[in-house]
Amino acid sequence: MFFIAFFGIEDKDKYIGTYNNIECPSCGRLTRYDIHKSYRYFHIFFIPTFRWNVRYYVKASCCGSLYELDPDVGREFEKNLRTEIRNEHLRPVHNHSPYKYCSNCSTNVPENYSYCPYCGGKL
């Protein structure tokens, strides 16, 4: 936050909603997306006057993959939470997960393991 006397510039991350019952593009599991809006704004006396650099992000709850959502779809989702989000609307921001997924016991295992420490299944 940048603040001088009566005005300043601040970054904001706003939770918009969830999108349920979708297959994750990274791990293939059935999951939900948490939709967030990120932007920077200028304020006078802590009253926001205008904002810029607006971006929409989607985080998959299964593996923690992060995607940037198409801005048009993000604005539409903000107005109507029933807006459909498809894989074409997502752009991977960070697709390297520090975990592997064990399909036998449905847990996340650190990536340096070849076998699951919980059930012994091959990863």
The pTM score is 0.70
The amino acid sitting at 42 is F
Whether residue 102 lies inside any domain: the answer is no
Tens digit of each residue's pLDDT (9 = 90 or more) over 13-28: 899 999 999 998 888 8
- The residue with greater pLDDT, 69 or 102, is 69
- Tell me the CA distances in angstroms from 107 to 103, 114, 123, one per residue in order: 8, 14, 11
Whether residue 113 lies inside any domain: the answer is no
Per-residue pLDDT, averaged over 32-45, amounts to: 90
Whether residue 68 lies inside any domain: the answer is yes
State the pLDDT at residue 80.
Answer: 93
Residue range of the domain that includes 56: 2-97
Q: How many domains does the structure of the chain reveal?
A: 1
State the pLDDT at residue 17.
Answer: 94
- Nearest of 87, 27, 84, 14 to residue 61 by alpha carbon: 27
The amino acid sitting at 95 is N
State the pLDDT at residue 101.
Answer: 72
Residues 61 and 31 sit within 8 Å (Cβ to Cβ): yes
Residues 47 and 8 sit within 8 Å (Cβ to Cβ): no
- Nearest of 11, 100, 26 to residue 59 by alpha carbon: 26
Whether residue 108 lies inside any domain: the answer is no
Tens digit of each residue's pLDDT (9 = 90 or more) over 80-95: 989 999 999 999 986 5
